[in-house]
Amino acid sequence: MPIAATTPPSETVIEAFRTEFRGDVLVSTDDGYDEARSIWNAVIDKAPAVVVRPLGASDVMTAIAFAHEHDLEIAVRGGGHNVAGNAVCDGGLMIDCSAMRSVRVDPKAKTAWIEPGALLHDVDVETQAHGLVLPGGFVSSTGIAGLTLGGGFGYLSRAFGLTVDNLRSVELVTADGRFVTASEDENPDLFWALRGGGGNFGVVTAFEFDLHELESTVLAGPIAYDFADAPAVMREVATAVREAPDEVACLMAIRKAPPAPFLPEEVHGELVLMVVVMYAGSVEAGEKALAPIRGIGSPIVDAVGPKPYATFQTMFDAATDAGARNYWKAHYLSEMSGEAIDAMCDYAITIVSPETTIGMMALGGEISRRPAGSTPYQHRDAEWVVNVQSRWREAAEDDVHIAWARDLFDALTPHATGGTYVNFISHDEGEQRIHDAFGTDAYERLVAVKAEWDPENVFHLNQNVRPAV
């Protein structure tokens, strides 16, 4: 692991570097530097010595060689959304992939090559232009790179699997500056590790995916319930989702109602349960498949209707925009038990921040049909993932909101599997949580792959898998 340089590279060194690097090279005195070092989670405030924005794989190779030459730690940024904030570092080199954002679709082969700076919205728009989709996440401003490298689940995952389940190949630059391809046929161990093992193995310069057909209009939207009804409704929704076809996507969220136009004004600021559904198929088939969920209880509002898939994907973008302070803790649930529901409802009444959410995403379907060891992404048999998402604005309130998330997490622990999702781990959760994400077998296999491809742990600013000694 390189020792962080005590002095940043001199102006002369930076000027020389600029002549060989095609993209932007920014240091603290440059316009745009502060914007470049800012990431989604405002809790993370770090100042790299140098930020580079590569325009292609050769720039990434140049950047890695520069970091080695000047003993700079390397942080890699895709979409900058990760809550742990490893996309930025203090005093090192930040490789910001945001200028590499192309999405090239082959409609005949139903595949796409996607660069690591692309956001999910870029992917949705380009693929939907051909009536195709890639399963991504629930928020369209998330980066494809970090999402894919950790697994990736969203509205389409019960129907078409995780984002990594649709990965065909990856191009990346390794710790020693080599450009390599990984697929089932080429460097298969590396390819396995990239399907959930995070940013441990190199800087990805392109992902190749299989795509699926989906008409542009889907039946989708939120259903809101009075919080008093939440325990009963959540139980019924869990049963209905278990019996639903794979095309039915569902997430639940408990939060104070935002001032969204679809919600009546009198509930704004009050605790509500939101049940958000989508059917990954025709609107007609969706009417039938979503009816059992839409028939549950007496909602305040049912805003489910036909809408463009790519627009629906942006529904949570405003509520989760960059710049707020965030702290997450996540559990997998083998089932949505009554005890887990009661714990969430008990803690919900103590929520103080208007932006905090207890998010529950239904898994299962195609995710659960892949063999457990097929990817480093584990916990395929979990029916739900719960993400306790504290979100607030003032640094002075950090302790209160972080403590609230930890307390609810602890209350849920007896009802959870013990595992977690690598992409939902916060900055201070420690090494054990990384083990919990992978489990012993996958972790040991990742360690062996890491030892082969990054024996010096050059890429350690991530949910780090240390190479075997």
Q: Which residues bind ligand FAD (CB under 6 A)?
A: 40, 76-83, 86-87, 97, 116, 137-139, 142-143, 145-147, 149-154, 198-199, 203-204, 320, 423, 462
| Of residues 135 and 286, the one with the C-beta less far from ligand FAD | 135
We find the least distance from the C-beta atom of residue 216 to ligand FAD, in angstroms, to be: 21
CB-CB contact of 313 with 140 (8 Å): yes
CA 113 – CA 296 distance, rounded (Å): 41
Token pair in block for residue 11: 């102006």
| Of residues 157 and 296, the one with the C-beta less far from ligand FAD | 157
C-alpha 1 chain-centroid distance = 26
We find the least distance from the C-beta atom of residue 229 to ligand FAD, in angstroms, to be: 25
We find the least distance from the C-beta atom of residue 414 to ligand FAD, in angstroms, to be: 25
We find the least distance from the C-beta atom of residue 342 to ligand FAD, in angstroms, to be: 25
We find the least distance from the C-beta atom of residue 198 to ligand FAD, in angstroms, to be: 6
CA 285 – CA 171 distance, rounded (Å): 39
| Of residues 63 and 442, the one with the C-beta less far from ligand FAD | 63
| Of residues 153 and 312, the one with the C-beta less far from ligand FAD | 153
- For residue 334, the SS3 value is coil
Strands 325-333, 384-392: pairing is antiparallel
| Of residues 111 and 423, the one with the C-beta less far from ligand FAD | 423
CA 384 – CA 391 distance, rounded (Å): 21
Q: Which residues contact 41 (CB under 8 A, 6 or more apart)?
A: 82, 83, 84, 85, 324, 325, 326
**Amino acid, res. 281:** G
Of 279, 252, 284, whose CA–CA distance to 385 is shortest? 252
We find the least distance from the C-beta atom of residue 457 to ligand FAD, in angstroms, to be: 13
We find the least distance from the C-beta atom of residue 365 to ligand FAD, in angstroms, to be: 15
Burial annotation 252-278 (CB, 10 A radius, 16+ → b, else e): bbbbbbeebeebeeebeeebbbbbbbb
**Which residue is associated with the tokens 């590499």?**
100
| Of residues 78 and 286, the one with the C-beta less far from ligand FAD | 78
We find the least distance from the C-beta atom of residue 366 to ligand FAD, in angstroms, to be: 15
Token pair in block for residue 462: 């991530």
CB-CB contact of 109 with 209 (8 Å): no
Of 294, 128, 290, whose CA–CA distance to 214 is shortest? 128
Dihedral over Cα of 31, 35, 37, 43: its sign: positive
Angle ∠(451,456,462) on CA atoms, nearest 5? 85
| Of residues 227 and 327, the one with the C-beta less far from ligand FAD | 327
We find the least distance from the C-beta atom of residue 327 to ligand FAD, in angstroms, to be: 12
The beta strand positions in 284-427, using DSSP E, are: 301-302, 305-308, 325-333, 357-362, 384-392
We find the least distance from the C-beta atom of residue 284 to ligand FAD, in angstroms, to be: 27
CB-CB contact of 237 with 188 (8 Å): no
| Of residues 87 and 333, the one with the C-beta less far from ligand FAD | 87
| Of residues 175 and 230, the one with the C-beta less far from ligand FAD | 175
**Amino acid, res. 293:** I
The closest residue (CB) to ligand FAD is 146
Dihedral over Cα of 58, 60, 63, 65: its sign: negative
Helices in 115-263 by DSSP H: which ranges?
A: 120-128, 144-150, 157-160, 188-194, 230-243
| Of residues 197 and 299, the one with the C-beta less far from ligand FAD | 197
We find the least distance from the C-beta atom of residue 352 to ligand FAD, in angstroms, to be: 20
| Of residues 87 and 296, the one with the C-beta less far from ligand FAD | 87
